[in-house]
Amino acid sequence: GAVVSQHPSRVICKSGTSVKIECRSLDFQATTMFWYRQFPKQSLMLMATSNEGSKATYEQGVEKDKFLINHASLTLSTLTVTSAHPEDSSFYICSARETGRSSYNEQFFGPGTRLTVL
């Protein structure tokens, strides 16, 4: 149980294009999902908290117009990197918390998406 998937696992795109990454909770409902970014040999940095049916909450320094988040259902959140540039190349990881659980309960992480912008 508690499986989170991400699609695609790896994507290469040209500078200026937009890329959509999907995060799905496969066997549970997740009102809240989180999006992290991880640069090589660095920690996971929270980008935004995604809540089903409402606007995402972005961390300081994260451009909401560049990283569009849509949490349209209890099992799916999407992150769209708009007008991607080489500096957006990173490992993007989502996590999900089961509906009804408090904020102190476990987040289940997806396998990550490697984005390379040429």
Q: Which is nearer to other proteins, 42 or 73 (CB)?
A: 42
Contact between 112 and other proteins per CB under 8 A = yes
Q: Which residues of 3-24 are buried (b: 16+ CB within 10 A; e: fewer)?
A: ebebeeeebebeeeeebebebb
Q: Which listed residue (43, 54, 87, 100) binds other proteins by CB under 8 A?
A: 43
Contact between 44 and other proteins per CB under 8 A = yes
**CA distance to 12, 60, 75, 117, per residue, from 24 (Å):** 21, 25, 5, 24
Q: Which is nearer to other proteins, 83 or 109 (CB)?
A: 109
Select from 13-21, 44-52, 66-74, 75-83 the region that touches other proteins (CB under 8 A): 44-52
Q: Which is nearer to other proteins, 44 or 74 (CB)?
A: 44
Residues 71-110 that bind other proteins (CB under 8 A): 91, 93, 95, 102-104, 106-107, 109-110
Start-to-end Cα distance in the chain: 37
Select from 11-19, 43-51, 61-69, 77-85 the region that touches other proteins (CB under 8 A): 43-51
Measuring CA to CA, which residue among 38, 11, 16, 10 is closest to residue 85? 16
